[in-house]
Amino acid sequence: MPQEQNKKQREDTENTRKENEKLKDEKISEYGQTILENNPKHYKIHLLSIVGEIEGHENLPSGSKTTKYDHVLPQLAQIEDDKKIEGLLVLLNTSGGDVDAGLAIAEMISSLSIPTVSLVLGGSHSIGGPLAVSTDYSFIVPSGAMIIHPVRMSGMVIGAPQTYDYFKRTQDRITGFIASHSHISQKRLEEMMINTAELTKDLGTILIGEDAVREGLIDEVGGIRDALNRLYQMVDKKRGKQAKKEEIS
């Protein structure tokens, strides 16, 4: 009888493990998210991928690769609520997208209480700028690119002074956020936005790898190893502070 019970327990444990693996795979395929926890010190890191175009209130064509803000925001709230999660790694390869949706995600990331690190891979253009700098520390791979350009609007535009004011205020929201979360000034960002010498059919500036670091937009050039090592150090530091608080109390 005890042998049968042990066998059943082992089978239940194995079934639970397989179910967890299945859920993990589904989460990666559907949302580009997973938990990284197989490291030597068992840091529990949440991986968030922001790829394609940032989708706002309207659905983009089914053939487009998108990141849906209505999926990401609840996940970020869940991360903040889950005390087992010790850090967040954000991988970015985005062409930009909806301003309000992008800023909403950026504000959520910047307000998390756990250590956060971002890594720009292929690119983080347009509204991807605030997303890249929303973390505590940011990396960009040597070939990664960031495009800084003025705000655009699709659909009907009314030719009135109020329209220009709206554009300016929206642009100030973006440049203000970037300036307050990086080492670049709002004035320098605005200068790069109206640059006419780099983009053949548009205003703006393209920053590749080291250029983004030199301008103060991104903290460091590096890859996934550098980003994870930095995040581990930040988690270690927070663990140390918590341990001291527990000793005092």
- Is there a catalytic annotation at residue 57? no
Return the number of other C-beta atoms located less than 10 Å from residue 183's C-beta: 12
CA distance 46 to 87: 6
> What token pair was written down for 63?
């053939």
For residue 162, the SS3 value is helix
Helix axes 99-110, 161-180, angle to 10 degrees: 30
- Is there a catalytic annotation at residue 138? no
Q: Which residue has the tokens 């960002």?
A: 189
**Each residue of 86-104: b (16+ CB within 10 Å) or e?**
bbbbbbbbbbbbbbebbbb
The DSSP output letter for 150 is: -
> Which member of 46, 125, 149, 181 is catalytic?
149
> Which member of 126, 134, 138, 182 is catalytic?
126
Are the C-beta atoms of residues 124 and 94 closer than 8 Å to each other?
A: yes
CA distance 40 to 38: 7
Could you give the residue numbers annotated as active site?
Answer: 126, 149
